[in-house]
Amino acid sequence: MPIAIAILGILIVSLVVGSLFNFTFLFLAIPLVLIFFGLMLGTEALNRQRRIWQMKRFRRSAKARKVEFDDDDRKTIAV
């Protein structure tokens, strides 16, 4: 996350400096910033969803299974 904050800071500073030199740069940079935030949020959401599915698979695999006991098992349990 600190890397993203540094990149965002550099992007904002370059936006300000670029808008001082060329006013139309502002109109180009706004969609780029929005795309950047969209990609950041999208990858975070995908990673979160992947972790959720991994936990669900783990829970399903760890679920107790019904086992039929044979005669030897029943003797061991009864004693």
DSSP assignment of 10-71: HHHHHHHHHHHH-THHHHHHHHHHHHHHHHHHHHHHHHHHHHHHHHHHHHHHHS-------H
Whether 20 has a pLDDT exceeding 80, the answer reads no
**Which pLDDT band holds residue 31 (cuts at 50, 70, 90)?**
confident
Of the two residues 58 and 34, the one the predictor is more confident about is: 58
Of the two residues 22 and 66, the one the predictor is more confident about is: 66
pLDDT at 1: 63
Domain range annotation of the chain: 19-43
pLDDT at 58: 94
